[in-house]
Amino acid sequence: MPGKLKAKIVAGRHLPVMDRASDLTDAFVEVKFGNTTFKTDVFPKSLNPQWNSEWFKFEVDDEDLQDEPLQITVLDHDTYSANDAIGKVYIDIDPLLSSEAATVISGWFPIYDTIHGIRGEINVLVKVDLFNDLNRFRQSSCGVRFFCTTSIPLCYRAVVVHGFVEELVVNEDPEYQWIDRIRTPRASNEARQRLISLMSGELQRKIGLKVLEMGGNAVVGYLQCFDLEGESGLVVRAIGTACTLEKLSGGGATNNAQHTANSSPSKDMKESPKACMSGCRSSHSSPVHGAASRLAQSFSVSYPTLLFSGMGSGGSAGKEAGPLKILLRQQTQTALEQREFPFFTLTSFPQGFLLHVAGVVSARSVKLLDRIHNPDEPETRDAWWEELRQEIKSHARALGCHAVVGYSESTSICEEVCILSASGTAAVLNCRFLQDGCLDVLSEHRCDDSAPPGCGFCHVPYDELNMPFPAQLSPCCCCHRTKVPDVLFTTIDLPTDAQVTGKGCLIQARLCRLKKKSQGEGNATCISNLLPFLEYELHTQLLNKLKLCGMNALFGLCIQISVGENMLVGLASATGVYLSALPSPGGIQIAGKTPNDLTYDQHVSSIQRKINDTIVKNRELYEIHITEVAEDVIGSPIPEPRQRSRLFRSHSESSDELSELDLSHGKKDAFVLEIDDTDAVEDLHSLLTDAPTPPGFYSCNTEIMPGIYNWTSAIQMFTSVRVFRLNNANLTNLGLNKIFNELCENLLKSLYFKLRSMVPCCLCRLNFTVAVPEDELIQVAVTAVAMSFHKDQTQEANKAAQAHSQMKAIAETEEQLQFPLELNAESASPLSPKGSGPQDGSNSHGRAPSVDYSSFADRCSSWIEQLRLRAHTIRRGSIKTSSSPLPEGRSRSLRSTRSFPGSSVSVVKMTPLSFIPGAKIVKYLGIINMFFIRETTSLREEGGVSGFLHAFIAEVFAMVRAHVAALGGNAVVSYSMKECVFMENPNKNQAQCLINVSGDAVIFTRESDQEGHLPQTSHPQPTEDTPP
Amino acid sequence: MSVELDVFVGNTTIMDQEVYQLWLSGYTVGDAVKVRMDGGVLDGCDASAEVLRSDTMDQFRTFQMCERLLHNPAKLANQLLFQIPPDRQAMLIDRYYAFDDAFVREVLGKKLSKGTKKDLDDVSSKTGILLKSCRRQFDNFKRVFKVVEELKGPLVENIRQHLLLSDRLARDYAAIVFFANHRFETGKKKLQYLTFQDFAFCAGELISHWTVGAMDNQLEDMDVDLDKEFLQDLKELKVLITDKDLLDQHKSLVCTALRSKTKVFAEMEASFKNLSRGLINIAAKLTNTKDVRDLFIDLVEKFIEPCRSDRWVTIDVNLYLTHYINSAHILDTFKHQAVWNSLWDELFKMLTDIQHVTVCFLVKMGMVASGASAAAEGTRATAASSEEPVPVHPTQFTTSISFSFRDMLNVGCRAWPHSGSQAC
């Protein structure tokens, strides 16, 4: 009996009227955990009941503690008929199971009903007493921490990064059980919510076990997803990166420093650990598998590139060869299990971890769900994903990389067809530190001061004589010592030390393709055949738009392909930047196929002019000022006819011979678009003329925007959803594209307009998700955060200077942050370093271990802060039942002379980023992973579909905030809305929506806040809350 | 091809004050978009009308969802659905409970019943305020009325506490509740020249002097009801007009005091008995609810109009009433035993009130000369000489008023723009 769960029901407020006669409610509460249920007394005739119950105690296995949610049901007592349910609260008690996370859950929770939404609030107290269980065969994994954040959490350091963990559980979907025919929609929804809650608990526990097995204590970059497969079941799957984390005694690096460091191009990187050189190129491959048998062809497109020119790999190449060699040696030494994947779900890394980035690797496969032999078992799905991961692994290997970073998986399901997608960035990681044991040795492996600053990761990792695809390489523009590709595509965040010219911007490629309606295998084949073209065109678009912006690298690339009954929709989003290390991108040339027609020629040249103007404008806009005037590219004449034979095509009709398509072109700057007819002109036109972001706005889908340092504390997270109906039955691909393009553009425009009061501001982590919920519907959902910044130049300069010094400090602390990487690399690594120059060991043995005494003082002070924090927490725990301190003074002062009865609700910030500008995250309280269903049978009365969804999203936010506040937190970081499935039936006046959100609950303190106002002071007290 | 669903939800609820005002004014989304476009909100933004429409829709929806909470402002502070900073909450509440003077003037003193609500479309077409907005304002009155109806203690304070309204709004609502409770007649043609603020001032005076709460602070009773005992006692005043001796004595006392202090002394002397009778009769009848309702119209008819036709100015009326009350006091101490004193004190309170109220009314009537200030006289002179157009005042004089009178109003409005209360 290793755990005792205690719950106390304190009070309720704002309950709905359940008895029409008296306009009151006789409420009582059922508290259920596992199979045990307790009840409170009935509190008669009140909408604000004070139950003040005893402590309900559940003695349970810790396995159950992990799997089960605490279920609180508020009911209205009825003497004669059955008691009516008012609503429920599910509380995930996982955060209480780790000693470092929350200690108590206490606060007001919205009472949620799947039909009526939020109906009042209930004040609950939950505690857990855990007994240590040293049983080696235990099935629980209490204490393993989970983080959604895809970087090492701010107040931790990684001792070891163990690697990839994944798990998948399957169950029958309650919505498809026979019993669903006879039960109410409410019962069905609740069964589903409860099941998913159980399944995610189980999933976390299982992943936790794997982590413990690997010797880790945390999962970072935890990504959990649901697949609603329909008849064949409900799948909950998760991936993450197992780590051993250690809490920093310093109480966490300050965020400001972190992100300023992130965003400022490092000028003085002497202190930074050396990053090895590597090359890059973007590669893309998309294997497509048919359902039952391998229906389809596997295919690979490789992306553009520079011809290798001059500059031998002599001495400098030797430099990277050093670690690579070590890596190889280590790999053979530690030959880890083959079944493991060297994947990392992280997107940003401590300095020195990431050596080379090669490019995007992705794999997709099409499966038929009705062909699963044993739908209730996870084996089939496991095998599917396994297949896909192998594919990814081999792609990475082909790129000369032993690891994949920024790895993620997703699915798109339509009827019985399911597209599984996996993507990541092939990379070479720093393997000098391999195992736990050599930590001591580690510190000796200091980096070489002469390491090239901020360009290392761009250098190609593969050998130029043995390139996996035709590529164009050129010497690195920063260090001139090694090769870089002309374009770099990645799924990760911009590395902290990357040298960037100007600012970045969001780049999106959007595409719709019609497809015939069909069933089963035919449908799967059809989709499989379409997929390669879709991806190819998305890439072409991305590349075109990137060039149009005058940039040369994409970060945070995320390609989504959604399948509907009669169309495929592809949306690729990424943040374009100009990497100083990469060569300047060439212009875009337009070439007409029918040069005889004079008017046509004029037309072409006018487009050409427009494009050239746009490039100039964009460079201006994004402040890309390149000193070396190597490119007089813009407006350069159309290349000679001979070269025109190798044109870059932008139309799918021309891609039949795709497999042998040569994408490289002889002349560096001759990036040519060919247009064959007027249709194509329009197409091109619409593609290349996205509206620029309005003045004062920037946007990106990564964590930070290069070139912006001075964030204010004003942040606004938002979710926006749009559903578009295509009424026109016979649409062409072109028309469809135009509509989809407009939809996305208008959505962005709306966002800019809405947030105009925050100017100057940047929309960060713009996360678009597309879906095709029905035949003629396209749904686009966006979640992002708008953060405003100071425009003030002088301040910027100050800040930059400050950032500079901070960066030094960081670099110092970073020395202690070095951690070994446990590589599960296969012995047969393809990256045999052929450039066998003289091995320069000094790279890795440059410096003696240095102890940083100066940071001791810091640590002491932050230790004190921690103590204070703990004291607060303890006080909070005990205070609950007695009277509490008043809400914080700040909000009070704003309230002018009025007295608000009851206390105001504590403010909870939400952001999809891993940090909060100007604040310091002092504690991670646990993962928030919530799943809600909302249904209505009175759609019109609730304001139509928009009213319904608006209310639901607001409710979801409210519930997330309430849970965070109850854990004692004041913010959610790395927040994301993973799923938003919306179904409607306006004829029946019905709609249903499922939303899944996740994030990390944290406590942050403002840097200016000396006292560290803690959120618990603002916990409302039930007794204070007298109803009017 | 159409946007079927379009929502935007922020973690902190985004609200544009301008859009909120349009929503409160009862605009439809389409009209609101038009107004915003004309207002130039799109200037400098690269956005289409479609974007504006989407934004307006979103906000209107948000306000609609908030409306439920605004009905109980205390809830807004501790609800969890919308994260709204406290200053924004205050703004939302204040604006929601704000009302149009033109509208309130129409319903002031009417029973807040369904019947009245049905007539709101007439009010709407008369005042030009959209029906939706009328309904909101009417429902606000009703809601506030319901909340404070059963509460004990001071009315203004109750309203402020329970509805979290600002001081000014709470005072106004107290007046509305008070008027609605007693159903004071305010709609008669003769009362049209008075604004809501004038009545609000009167209500304030009455609440602080005539109600149960005012009479006995120990007694934690309601502010809403007039003190019955006090009204009963007022009947005693009748002796001032029924007793011939007293009436004469009173008159001579007042006249002695006023002699040579005013230009209209002759008229005062002549109409003393009439005026006194008028006033005392009003006071004596107040035990009848019907007569309470007619308090203001009676005051205008029986006292103010006679004064006006004699061309008194405010200072005259003030003087007259002051001495009228003082003399009565002397009369009393002269004649009666000390036992009566307290009662008479009360009566004088009433008379003082009436003085305040009437003076207030007179100010509005234009019978003003701003005390003895020469400056004001000067203004009057200039205003009269330069033939300026008649001032734009919502409650305009009826046509029967002479031209010279208008000039005086002109002056009055200048000296005390829209605020009869301050003059008192």
Distance, in angstroms, between A534 CA and closest chain B CA?
23
Interface test with A, best of B3, B4, B29 (most A CBs within 10 A): B4
Model confidence at A859: pLDDT above 60: no
Model confidence at A442: pLDDT above 50: no
Model confidence at A669: pLDDT above 50: no
Q: Pick the residue with more confidence: B171 or A653?
A: B171
Give bridge partners of residue B65 from the DSSP assignment: none
Task: Name the band, by pLDDT with cuts 50, 70 and 90, for residue B347.
Answer: low
Distance, in angstroms, between A719 CA and closest chain B CA?
5
What does the pLDDT read at residue A634? 39
Most confident of A285-299, A606-620, B329-343, B373-387: A606-620
What is d(CA B108, CA B194) in angstroms, rounded to the nearest whole number?
A: 12
* Contact residues on chain B for A942, CB-CB shorter than 8 A: none
Task: Name the band, by pLDDT with cuts 50, 70 and 90, for residue A976.
Answer: very high
Q: Is there a contact between B11 and A909 if contact means CB atoms under 8 Å apart? A: yes
Q: Is there a contact between B8 and A754 if contact means CB atoms under 8 Å apart? A: yes
Model confidence at B295: pLDDT above 70: yes
What is d(CA A699, CA A696) in angstroms, rounded to the nearest whole number?
A: 10
What does the pLDDT read at residue A74? 95
Nearest Cβ partner for B80 among A691, A719, A961: A961
What does the pLDDT read at residue A947? 93
Looking at chain A, the number of H-run helices and the number of E-run strands are 16, 33
Q: Is B40 on the interface with A (CB under 8 A)?
A: no
What is d(CA A39, CA A577) in angstroms, rounded to the nearest whole number?
A: 59
What does the pLDDT read at residue A992? 93
Q: What is the mean pLDDT of residues A669-682?
A: 54
Nearest Cβ partner for B81 among A749, A779, A954: A954
* In chain A, % of residues over pLDDT 70: 66
Residues of B (382-421) whose Cβ lies below 8 Å from A: none
Backbone dihedral region for residue B418 (phi beyond 0: left; psi -120 to 50: alpha; all else: beta): left
Nearest Cβ partner for A718 among B6, B11, B166: B11
Question: In the 8-state DSSP scheme, what is residue A692?
Answer: P
Distance, in angstroms, between B74 CA and closest chain A CA?
6
Task: Name the band, by pLDDT with cuts 50, 70 and 90, for residue A574.
Answer: very high
Distance, in angstroms, between B52 CA and closest chain A CA?
8
B/e letters for A931-959, b = 16+ CB within 10 Å, e = fewer, are: bbbbbbeebeebbbbbbbbbbbbbbbbbb
* In chain A, % of residues over pLDDT 90: 28
Contact A673, A589 (CB under 8 A): yes
Task: Name the band, by pLDDT with cuts 50, 70 and 90, for residue B8.
Answer: very high
| Mean confidence (pLDDT) of chain A | 72
Model confidence at A661: pLDDT above 60: no
Task: Name the band, by pLDDT with cuts 50, 70 and 90, for residue B24.
Answer: very high
Q: What is the mean pLDDT of residues A181-208?
A: 90
What does the pLDDT read at residue A643? 33
Model confidence at A821: pLDDT above 60: no
Taking CA–CA distances from A983, the nearest residue in chain B reads B5
Task: Name the band, by pLDDT with cuts 50, 70 and 90, for residue B321.
Answer: confident
Taking CA–CA distances from A746, the nearest residue in chain B reads B51
Q: What is the mean pLDDT of residues A22-35?
A: 91
**Token pair recorded at residue A875:** 């006080």
**Token pair recorded at residue A373:** 């032999």
Distance, in angstroms, between A501 CA and closest chain B CA?
27
φ and ψ at B57, to 5 degrees?
-60, -50
Interface test with B, best of A123, A946, A1024 (most B CBs within 10 A): A946
* Contact residues on chain B for A895, CB-CB shorter than 8 A: 86-87, 90
Read off the pLDDT of residues A1004-1024 as tens digits, 9 standing for 90 and up: 998 765 444 444 433 444 433
Task: Name the band, by pLDDT with cuts 50, 70 and 90, for residue A94.
Answer: confident
* Contact residues on chain B for A755, CB-CB shorter than 8 A: 14
Residues of B (88-107) whose Cβ lies below 8 Å from A: 90
Distance, in angstroms, between A787 CA and closest chain B CA?
13
Model confidence at A759: pLDDT above 50: yes
Q: What is the mean pLDDT of residues A240-245?
A: 90
Model confidence at B316: pLDDT above 60: yes
Q: Is there a contact between B79 and A951 if contact means CB atoms under 8 Å apart? A: no
What is d(CA B207, CA B213) in angstroms, rounded to the nearest whole number?
A: 8
Nearest Cβ partner for A1028 among B52, B72, B85: B72
Model confidence at A338: pLDDT above 90: no
Interface size A-B, in CB pairs within 8 Å, comes to 169
What is d(CA B145, CA B57) in angstroms, rounded to the nearest whole number?
A: 32
Helices (H), A647-768: 678-688, 733-754
Model confidence at B174: pLDDT above 70: yes
Give the up-direction half-sphere exposure of residue B94: CA atoms within 13 A in the CB hemisphere: 15
**CA nearest to A817, candidates A266, A151, A101, A265:** A151
**CA nearest to A702, candidates A406, A934, A423, A451:** A406
Residues of B (148-167) whose Cβ lies below 8 Å from A: 160-162, 164, 166-167
Model confidence at B99: pLDDT above 90: yes
What is d(CA A1028, CA B161) in angstroms, rounded to the nearest whole number?
A: 9
What does the pLDDT read at residue B352? 61
Q: Is there a contact between A953 and B9 if contact means CB atoms under 8 Å apart? A: yes
Q: Pick the residue with more confidence: A627 or A764?
A: A764
Q: Is there a contact between B80 and A110 if contact means CB atoms under 8 Å apart? A: yes
Which amino acid, A138? R
Distance, in angstroms, between B207 CA and closest chain A CA?
22
Q: Pick the residue with more confidence: A328 or B135?
A: B135
What does the pLDDT read at residue B40? 83
| Mean confidence (pLDDT) of chain B | 74
Model confidence at A794: pLDDT above 70: no
Give bridge partners of residue A76 from the DSSP assignment: A27, A84
Most confident of A874-883, A1016-1025, B223-232, B303-312: B303-312
ipTM, interface predicted TM-score of the complex: 0.78
Q: Is there a contact between B80 and A746 if contact means CB atoms under 8 Å apart? A: no
* Contact residues on chain B for A907, CB-CB shorter than 8 A: 83, 85
What does the pLDDT read at residue A137? 58
Three-class DSSP category at A791:
coil
* Contact residues on chain A for B85, CB-CB shorter than 8 A: 891, 894, 907
φ and ψ at B176, to 5 degrees?
-65, -45
Read off the pLDDT of residues A96-131 as tens digits, 9 standing for 90 and up: 887 777 789 999 999 999 999 999 999 999 998 877
Q: What is the mean pLDDT of residues A434-460?
A: 50
Nearest Cβ partner for A904 among B55, B86, B160: B86
Q: Pick the residue with more confidence: A222 or A500?
A: A222
What does the pLDDT read at residue A678? 52
Distance, in angstroms, between A122 CA and closest chain B CA?
11
Model confidence at A772: pLDDT above 50: yes
Q: Is there a contact between A951 and B6 if contact means CB atoms under 8 Å apart? A: no
Q: Pick the residue with more confidence: A5 or B254?
A: A5
Distance, in angstroms, between A1027 CA and closest chain B CA?
8
Distance, in angstroms, between A230 CA and closest chain B CA?
25
| Tokens 């100010």, located at residue | B363
Taking CA–CA distances from A975, the nearest residue in chain B reads B11
* In chain B, % of residues over pLDDT 70: 74
For the whole model, what pTM was predicted?
0.79
Contact A221, A242 (CB under 8 A): no
* Contact residues on chain A for B162, CB-CB shorter than 8 A: 1028
Task: Name the band, by pLDDT with cuts 50, 70 and 90, for residue A358.
Answer: confident
Q: Is B372 on the interface with A (CB under 8 A)?
A: no
Nearest Cβ partner for B1 among A108, A727, A949: A727
Contact B103, B121 (CB under 8 A): no
* Contact residues on chain A for B77, CB-CB shorter than 8 A: 900-902, 904-905
* Contact residues on chain B for A898, CB-CB shorter than 8 A: 90, 160, 164, 166
Distance, in angstroms, between B369 CA and closest chain A CA?
38
Interface test with B, best of A720, A745, A898 (most B CBs within 10 A): A898
Q: Is B72 on the interface with A (CB under 8 A)?
A: yes
Q: How far, in whole angstroms, is CA A815 from its chain's centroid? A: 27
Task: Name the band, by pLDDT with cuts 50, 70 and 90, for residue A401.
Answer: confident
